[in-house]
Structure 1
Amino acid sequence: MPPPILAILLAAATAALADEATAPDYQERVAPILKKYCAGCHNDDDLEGEFSVDGYASIQRGTEHGPAFLPGDPRGSLMLRLMTGAARPAMPPKDEPKPTAEEIATIEAWIASGARGPDGAEPSRLALIVPEIPSRGAVRPIVAMDASRDGRWTAVARDTAVTLYEGVGESAIGGERPGRAIGEYPGKVTAVHFTPDGKRLVTASGVAGTGGVAAIWNVADGALIRSFEGHRDLLYDAELSPDGTRLATCGYDKVVEIRDAAAGTLLRTLEGHTGAVYDVAFSPDGRFLVSASADDTCKVWRVEDGLRMDTLPQPLKAESCCLFSPDGRSIVAAGADSNIRVWRFVSREKPEINPMVLARFAHEGAIVRLGFSPDGSTLVSLAEDRTIKAWRAGDYTEIQAWGDQPDVATALAFSADGSTFTVGRMDGSTATYALPASRSDVAVAAAPRPRPEAVAPQEAAPVFEAAEREPDDHPDRASPIQLPARVTGVITAAEGAGVDADLYRFPARAGEEWVFEVDAARSGSKLDSFLEVLDGQGRRVPRVVLQAVRDSYFTFRGKNGTEIADFRVFNWEEMAIDDYLYANGEVVKLWLFPRGPDSGFFVYPGRGDRWGFFDTTPLAHALNEPCYVVEPHPPGTKLLQNGLPVFTLHFENDDDARRELGKDSRLNFTAPADGEYLLKIRDVRGLQGPEFRYTLTARPRRPDFTVALEGANPTVSPGIGREFKVSAHRLDDFEGPIRVDFEGVPPGFQIASPLVIEAGQLDAFGVVFAEPGAAQPTEEASKGIKVTATARIGDREIVHEVGSLGAIKLGPAPKLKVAIVPDEAAAKPAADSPDAPAEFVVEAGRTIALKVVVERADFPGQVPFGNEGAGRNLPFGTFVDDLGLNGLLVLEGRADRTFFVTAHRGTPEQVRPFHLTTAAAGGVSSRPVRLRVVRPAAETVADAKARTRRTGEASETPSGPRDADRSKPD
């Protein structure tokens, strides 16, 4: 070969070797650039443009438009042209970070040198190509912890390591015997769980933005049994099913994966969350899985086929932890909104709503961990406010709190016998605490506390008559009186003497109940009275302590001092009928749920002007004004603080809370102890003068009632009904049920008897129904109906006559008939015969479907049945559900309409007639059917507690059921 040619070849070979030696390494220099700028959209799971940079093989497959690169030709390579903007659309997209000039030069040099891939097998995508920077901090946060059920081992996760310690508790972790490291992990370890037999340990770990790894380890020798690599981001949890056959994992990539624990194969991917999934938990039988997510929800899944059984939407912020109760009847979850929520688990056979039974404001910071004690009797919660709390699992009442932790406790483990629990903190420290037994001295507003009967004052005592004697504006100068009494006076003072107030001193025994009433404005006086009872030294007397359990505020618009409807408040879904709502000193009681997003609560009494409770006076409330759901406790009750306010109400009143005396005051007083008390009256505005006269009456509380009937003298056509109403006027806070009986109904006509005005309610609705073959009744028969009202007050049965139903007349053939019948797709009635009304059964907390059928003779138009009052005489807390703006409506020309009846979870067992009424065709009512409400078959203690919170007395008794029923599953 000629020397010149040989020289040229040698020079070319030398240049090629030099280029190869200086070519950028794919794994060390190219892959990190592509991962940094491209992998977010172009990966194996998200193939935008049918292109992925997840590995060299993926890049070689190219894009939907052809090869991504041409080895040796950087200017002709699509990938580089898009990165430099020479081709459209420029990549990365607008507003996304762009590679630097140096990084683009690296890609160009790599392609120019032949675009070589990695030598040998491509490294795991979990391997981070970053400089290794040793940690300088001595603190190693504890992020997860678990103890084996036999008490032999404790596993503690710190950073990228897991350590096994012999024994349980702080002494084992921090003792003289060193722990044993188990396993190696690609990144941060986020969860550790022992299997029930304590022989295996499940771990979750991963690398943020890259992927996750779950692993099962042999505890005895630390050997890896199997690893499970998956997900597109860091894993947050990995759980084995109770039988050990399934492994569930979740992570930042918003999905849950279920794998065969033995084979490692992916069985199904559960998608539906729109945020990171932080926690998963199996049901005790392993058939179901619950997941907690940053999307502010928990979801319930069926493990067998991955079917979503329900979405639990009530949380207001991200949920960080979830679990089933040990008995499998409830789901418990908590998170960033500081609430512990409990749902009754019912969606076992088909997707349906799991009703929420409790939402407890638990901490002042985000809750990061929950755990049940081994026997299931106690729940422990850890939170970012550096507190730890223990809750009685039966009703989720706080029983002990440990505050002022040196750092946030993030990990939790129980001893085998459940007597202690150990926490690990972010500062690397641990602590062991004794688990408290259930305490009886803890305030539980949910426990029923019936109002006792009054201690009888002096029987037939004469009324003490007196007139005010000045000066009496100081406790030392109070005028003595004996109760019962009637005194007269005037709020005025000599010039320069200050604002006047009159005080009267009286003795009372513990438990005596007195009613003080002022007659001033009603008689033309200028006095706007304010009445209060003080102790013998002139100090205010506490009446009730209200502990806030939920905070809220008024939305949409404010309220005036009389409105009862459209109380729109933030987070109303977690409130319930019979809840007390406190706002700026006024206490109201929720009466009817909102009927949709464009409506609000009705408050008691459900009609007329708004009532105040505990003798508070209704006030105007501004938009965005704070309000609180509160639970009442007797003064002196030992309350465990929950971070929300506590309000003390005293024996005082401005305007009569029941709105019967106008601006005049009425105050109900129960003497808390034997002794002397002061009754003080003044003008609420601080005004005075000779025209400010009053008469003050003090009398014993004598609960009673009267009943009036509306809808007398009905004309009823054959085959239809006419509605009537019986209304109670309750006296001196009598709140018990009232039975209304009808006797002597003429032949051919029917009245469901008795009707019951439920405890605390004012109305009941009935129907006079004429049978199709009914004859015109005689005048004597039509007027012979006897109506009586009966109630038990204390140990006495009180009977009052009610106004007559008048004369019943038979009308002409009706233009329209209405009937309630079973829905074909729903359950059949429990009882249905021609001689008795059909009976339908609904479980408290559930919904049933019924159908209304109209028979048109000469009425083609629409048949409306109303909105919130569509179901007439339904049990309190039971309502016609899923109504739109038009309410329950049968459209023109239609013959039927399916409707839904939901029974609130706190509705007591009962059988009650109900019907539908329309104003169409002159007013038509259906023949009543019977609704039987039954309790859930698997009622938890919390369920029963909520149910029994509805008592027969509305004054100073605990509030009603805790629930936020929904009408549709997600």
Structure 2
Amino acid sequence: MRILIHPLRTKNAFGSAAEYLRTALLWGAVFCLGLTATCWSYAAELVTYSQVRPILDQYCAGCHGATDPEGDFSVASYDSLMADSRELPAIVPGQPEKSHLWQLLTGAEEPRMPPEDEVQPSGEEIKQLRQWILDGADNDSASPMQLEIAAPQLPTAPRENQFASTGCSLPGGAIAIGRFGRVDIYDAPDTTLQWSLEGFSGKVNSLRTSADGKQLVVGSGVTGVAGEIAVIDISSRKIVQRLQGHSDAVYCASLSPDGKWIASGSYDRKVILWDVATGKAVRELTGHNGAIYDLDFDAQSKLLATASGDQTVKLWQVATGLRLDTFGQPEGEMYCVRFAPDAQHVFAAGADRQIRCWQIVSSDKPAINPMLHARYAHESTVLQLEFVNAGQLVSTSADLTAKLWQAEELKSLGQLAELADVPVAILTRTHKAAADNSDLRIQVLQITGQSPWLASPLLGKHQTLAEEASTPTSLLLEASAPATQPKTAPQARPPAPHDFTEVEPNNSVAEATRISLPAKVAGAIAGVDAVGNEVDADYFKFSAQAGEQWIFEVMASRNGSPLDSRIEVLGMDSQSLLRTRLQAVRESYFTFRGKDSATSDDFRLHKWEDMELDEYFYAEGEVSRLWLYPRGPDSGFKVYPGVGSRRTYFDTTPVSHALGATGYIVRELALAEQPLPNGLPVFPIYFENDDDPFRRHGADSRLEFVAPATADYIARVRDARGFSGDDFKYELEIRRPKPDFSLSVGNSKLSMPIDSGREWSVTATRSDGLEGPICIALEGVPNGFLATNPLIIEAGQERAFGTLYATPAAAILPDTSSNQELTEDGSNALANAAEGAQEVATTMPPEPFVIKLIASSEVAGQRIEHELNETLEVTLVERSELQFQIVDATDSNREVEELSIRPGETISARILIQRQGVESRVSFGGDDSGRNLPHGAYVDNIGLNGLLIPEGQNEREFFITAAPKLQPGRRQFHLQNDSAGKATSRPLWLNVLPPQTKLDPSDSETR
């Protein structure tokens, strides 16, 4: 509209001046009305936040979203956009040119956003964003967060072809299946669709029923936009509650058993706890650095476990949100987590193909909750875990299998089924009448929506396949665990061996020299036979009955021969005979440094935390066994026997291992047992040996053989290097096992003052499968002395340490010997009787005396007893030396005579010293500071310097930890200091109590 202003004209133009003025006012009114109308029209078309949010989402949210936004600036919501508190705010309402967002968008400030290599907003979008700021940047959205995105609407497939995303069982045998935006309820027996409920945002990722089965909790959401939790009342078939608070899709949601809380986990890395009564978010649990894929409440609704893509499982206290522990052992994303029915164990699994079990030791404060088991379960990612009863666990995997596990020890019960497609949920149903689980049935819902029943005779059983299978072909005398006793009694009069001399030619199976067992054979690897042909092996043919046990020993290097022997037992077809199979259950490798063929200490292994004492470790054909945990960051495992050269098992040969060499924790498979398909190898072990597995005879060979059938066999002797010569002589002895032991005594001459003790030791040489306990009884211990009596070398172990302690009563009481074990009650009586006698004792020491040692053991019910030639020669002397006692951890005035512990626990006590002029630091040793503790118990938290009391201090708290595998029992132990005389404490009792709980709710105590 153009407005023309003319000078005052004559009457001819507009008439009178008054008429002109009226005309001008009229046009002015018209102009104002037009301008006002224009303003009203624009105000009705203000740009809203709902219009500009898609622009921000498309061009900014990739770097400035809700999770870890760059520059701590987020456009995920109106509040976060306007909350920018920098000197130059992102948005200044009404002033685009002062808004930092606008300046970056137009290039007025550097760096220009979006970056030049990214998609740029159109001119219309830029104009719209500017106008929104100019209009005041108001938020027009009073509704909850947006749960949809502008995306093309594609037609859906027919219902029968739509994929299933998740599912769960419902009361009465029905099942719920989650799909995109919908939940379908089916009758399980005939899979008839009963009813559906739509209106969920995005894909339904999680379905969990309430404890009473009346409600169904749905987790869903739109990736990159928001998540939602919905609660369905099953009886009314209606959504009764919707919860929104996540900035990305919700992957898991669950209602607590008490019905008070809903926990939800999302791709936004947050866990939100909701109050069911109010529908409000009570607290956020932060700390995960990856998506939350699964979560689970314990049975008491006190604890929450969360599994995350950051390769951890976290444990939370529901009432406070306190994080109690982070389980960091996994090596891949964790996709599933479940509490055991006893609420004291947590199971989790994921991308590393392993199932792990942790014991919950504290629900009140942060604590280290020990991992009890880790098992390679599948050949691919483990997707779901579900308890089907108190003691059985089902797992499914991307390898399209479903497997059943005994939960208590996480042992495989076998494979339930091979699936046709990817599993998305485990569905279970048990008839109430079947209290023994005999009618327990399982469905595995697959992505196609199919869910066949997996009825199996394995369900409800608590026995492993290994326990049902036959005995392996390994030598029965060699126990699969240290406590296992040999199964063949020693023969009182073994038959005399037949003497043979090698007769050439015997260089093949066809030419083998026939021998009768038992036998002694003299031979040589001469290099050429009688007619000048080169040879490198001698063959001997023998017969054996099925199950017969024979020991093959080559004597060469110990007699000065250059032969490095290798002994094998073959079939008549020249093929190696299978002794046993070892299945890998965990994979590892050597870290920090490699190992030579003799070292038994400092085995630094990747993921050692997943390993347990007494497990077999396979590396490059050698099998060793874990003896002691690493004792700190600068240490590794000790392997058997704990000192000296390492022992090997299954007659494998010790070899050197390079840094980074692969190794495996393995278990022996029973004869008829099928390997568990877990993606790890199965290693065959044959009847062959290069070097003596006990490391007693250098390069000489030793092999234990059990005949798998009544047949003829071949024994082959050769040089392991392929060398030969006339002087490569040997003697081969083939004999029956003769289980026995011999002992040597260390520090048998004990010289001590009153109120002090001295340590002595016994080392056993076991032979031919005697692996049981060896008891050494002390005879002739005078009254007034406290002794480790009897001293017991535990099953499978080689050494034990005892102490003899002279109380003040030793100098004043009659020299009346007692052959009975001194109990703690007897010790107290002696101490009370001698109270105040220290001064007399230092001037009246008794005469020296001798204590006899009687050793015994059992094999297959037969007692083997030896009286040792060595004795303990004891002399009391007048000497002032450092003295110490073990007192209660919280009461230094109360001396303790026994401590109690359970497997998996750590206890403490305190050392109190009387320096008697010793001003230097006092050490009580390193990883061996707990003298004679039972195998599996050790002094913990000692650091790099060991257990010591620094200068100027007179006491120190120490800790004893019991491995989960420690067996209940009672054993004496002591401490020893390294000052002059190396005095010991009085012998103390360690009572190992049974584990507190089992995976059975009926056995568990109330937390």
Kept after mapping to 2: 8 A contact 1:736/1:758: yes
Unaligned runs of 5+ in 1: 945-970
**Structure 1 range deviating more: 99-108 or 613-622:** 99-108
Shift of 1:932: 0.9
**Amino acid across the alignment from 2:168:** D
CA distance in 2, matches of 1:411, 1:638: 26
RMSD of aligned alpha carbons: 3.3
Q: How does 1:708-723 map to 2 (within 5 A)?
A: 708-723=744-759
Q: Against the structure 1 CA distance between its residues 554 and 12, is the aligned structure 2 distance closer, same or farther, given a 3 Å change threshold?
A: same
SS in 2 for 1:182: strand
Does 1:362 find its partner at 2:374?
no
Kept after mapping to 1: 8 A contact 2:181/2:198: no
Q: Against the structure 1 CA distance between its residues 96 and 221, is the aligned structure 2 distance closer, same or farther, given a 3 Å change threshold?
A: farther
Q: Against the structure 1 CA distance between its residues 923 and 304, is the aligned structure 2 distance closer, same or farther, given a 3 Å change threshold?
A: same
1:658-715 deviations in whole A, cap 9, x for unaligned? 1111111111122233333222211222232322211111222111111111112222
CA distance in 1, matches of 2:646, 2:546: 31
Per the alignment, residue 413 of structure 2 pairs with 399
User: Normalising to structure 2: TM-score of the pair?
Assistant: 0.85
Does 1:443 find its partner at 2:466?
yes
SS in 1 for 2:581: strand
**Structure 1 range deviating more: 78-87 or 784-793:** 78-87
**Structure 1 range deviating more: 892-901 or 906-915:** 906-915
Shift of 1:319: 1.1
CA distance in 2, matches of 1:97, 1:894: 67
**Structure 1 range deviating more: 652-661 or 254-263:** 254-263
Q: How does 1:410-421 map to 2 (within 5 A)?
A: 410-417=424-431, 419-421=440-442
* 2:502 aligned to which of 458, 468, 481: 468
Per the alignment, residue 144 of structure 1 pairs with 166
Shift of 1:321: 0.7
Q: Against the structure 1 CA distance between its residues 571 and 624, is the aligned structure 2 distance closer, same or farther, given a 3 Å change threshold?
A: same
Greater relative CO (CA pairs within 8 A, separation 6+): 1
Q: Against the structure 1 CA distance between its residues 671 and 940, is the aligned structure 2 distance closer, same or farther, given a 3 Å change threshold?
A: farther
**Structure 1 range deviating more: 533-542 or 34-43:** 34-43
SS in 1 for 2:980: helix
**Amino acid across the alignment from 2:507:** D
Shift of 1:352: 3.0
Does 1:490 find its partner at 2:504?
no
Kept after mapping to 1: 8 A contact 2:60/2:114: no
CA distance in 1, matches of 2:916, 2:112: 72
Per the alignment, residue 319 of structure 2 pairs with 304
1:726-768 deviations in whole A, cap 9, x for unaligned? 1111122311111112222345433221111111111111222
Q: How does 1:334-373 map to 2 (within 5 A)?
A: 334-373=349-388
Q: How does 1:57-206 map to 2 (within 5 A)?
A: 63=85, 65=87, 69=91, 73-87=95-109, 100=121, 102=123, 105-106=126-127, 108-111=129-132, 114-115=135-136, 117=138, 121-135=141-155, 140-151=162-173, 153-165=174-186, 167-168=187-188, 171-172=190-191, 177-206=192-221
Kept after mapping to 2: 8 A contact 1:712/1:807: yes
Shift of 1:914: 1.5
SS in 1 for 2:55: helix
Per the alignment, residue 215 of structure 1 pairs with 230
**Amino acid across the alignment from 1:412:** I
Shift of 1:241: 1.6
Shift of 1:389: 1.9
Does 1:387 find its partner at 2:407?
no
CA distance in 2, matches of 1:429, 1:561: 54
Paired residues in the alignment total: 925
Per the alignment, residue 932 of structure 2 pairs with 873
1:467-513 deviations in whole A, cap 9, x for unaligned? 11122223233222222211111223336634342222222233332
Shift of 1:233: 2.4
**Structure 1 range deviating more: 107-116 or 758-767:** 107-116
Kept after mapping to 1: 8 A contact 2:566/2:717: yes
Does 1:280 find its partner at 2:314?
no
**Amino acid across the alignment from 1:434:** A
Per the alignment, residue 856 of structure 2 pairs with 790
1:257-298 deviations in whole A, cap 9, x for unaligned? 222222213333333323222111122232322211222222
SS in 2 for 1:925: coil
> Whose Rg is larger?
2
Kept after mapping to 1: 8 A contact 2:147/2:227: no
CA distance in 2, matches of 1:592, 1:235: 44
Per the alignment, residue 443 of structure 2 pairs with 422
**Amino acid across the alignment from 2:150:** V
Q: Against the structure 1 CA distance between its residues 849 and 382, is the aligned structure 2 distance closer, same or farther, given a 3 Å change threshold?
A: same
* 2:307 aligned to which of 261, 272, 292: 292
Unaligned runs of 5+ in 2: 1-23, 432-438, 470-478, 812-840
**Structure 1 range deviating more: 6-15 or 801-810:** 6-15
SS in 2 for 1:476: coil
1:500-538 deviations in whole A, cap 9, x for unaligned? 422222222333322211111222223221111223444
Shift of 1:54: 5.4
CA distance in 2, matches of 1:344, 1:841: 19
Kept after mapping to 1: 8 A contact 2:253/2:265: yes
CA distance in 2, matches of 1:317, 1:123: 39
Q: Against the structure 1 CA distance between its residues 663 and 112, is the aligned structure 2 distance closer, same or farther, given a 3 Å change threshold?
A: closer
Per the alignment, residue 864 of structure 1 pairs with 923
1:778-831 deviations in whole A, cap 9, x for unaligned? 9995232111211112222222122434532333433422222111189x98xx
**Amino acid across the alignment from 2:281:** L
Q: Against the structure 1 CA distance between its residues 562 and 26, is the aligned structure 2 distance closer, same or farther, given a 3 Å change threshold?
A: same
Q: Against the structure 1 CA distance between its residues 163 and 887, is the aligned structure 2 distance closer, same or farther, given a 3 Å change threshold?
A: same
Q: Against the structure 1 CA distance between its residues 502 and 574, is the aligned structure 2 distance closer, same or farther, given a 3 Å change threshold?
A: same
CA distance in 2, matches of 1:630, 1:756: 29
SS in 1 for 2:991: strand
Per the alignment, residue 768 of structure 1 pairs with 804
Percent identical pairs in the alignment equals 38
CA distance in 2, matches of 1:825, 1:85: 73
Q: How does 1:567-966 map to 2 (within 5 A)?
A: 567-772=603-808, 774=811, 775=841, 782-824=848-890, 838-940=897-999
Does 1:5 find its partner at 2:39?
no
Q: Against the structure 1 CA distance between its residues 37 and 447, is the aligned structure 2 distance closer, same or farther, given a 3 Å change threshold?
A: farther
CA distance in 2, matches of 1:67, 1:17: 31
Q: How does 1:37-52 map to 2 (within 5 A)?
A: none
Per the alignment, residue 514 of structure 2 pairs with 480
Q: Against the structure 1 CA distance between its residues 91 and 902, is the aligned structure 2 distance closer, same or farther, given a 3 Å change threshold?
A: farther
CA distance in 1, matches of 2:870, 2:490: 35
Q: Against the structure 1 CA distance between its residues 634 and 387, is the aligned structure 2 distance closer, same or farther, given a 3 Å change threshold?
A: closer
Shift of 1:876: 0.6
* 2:550 aligned to which of 485, 495, 514: 514
SS in 2 for 1:443: helix
Q: Against the structure 1 CA distance between its residues 785 and 178, is the aligned structure 2 distance closer, same or farther, given a 3 Å change threshold?
A: closer
**Structure 1 range deviating more: 124-133 or 328-337:** 124-133
Shift of 1:431: 3.2
1:434-476 deviations in whole A, cap 9, x for unaligned? 2442576822599979455337779542321111112222323
Kept after mapping to 2: 8 A contact 1:544/1:649: yes
Kept after mapping to 2: 8 A contact 1:581/1:587: yes
CA distance in 1, matches of 2:82, 2:330: 46
1:227-275 deviations in whole A, cap 9, x for unaligned? 2222232211111122322222122232322222222133333333232
**Structure 1 range deviating more: 587-596 or 62-71:** 62-71
**Amino acid across the alignment from 1:821:** V
CA distance in 2, matches of 1:674, 1:458: 25
**Structure 1 range deviating more: 65-74 or 379-388:** 65-74
Q: Against the structure 1 CA distance between its residues 49 and 597, is the aligned structure 2 distance closer, same or farther, given a 3 Å change threshold?
A: closer
Q: How does 1:218-233 map to 2 (within 5 A)?
A: 218-233=233-248
SS in 1 for 2:412: strand
**Structure 1 range deviating more: 773-782 or 918-927:** 773-782
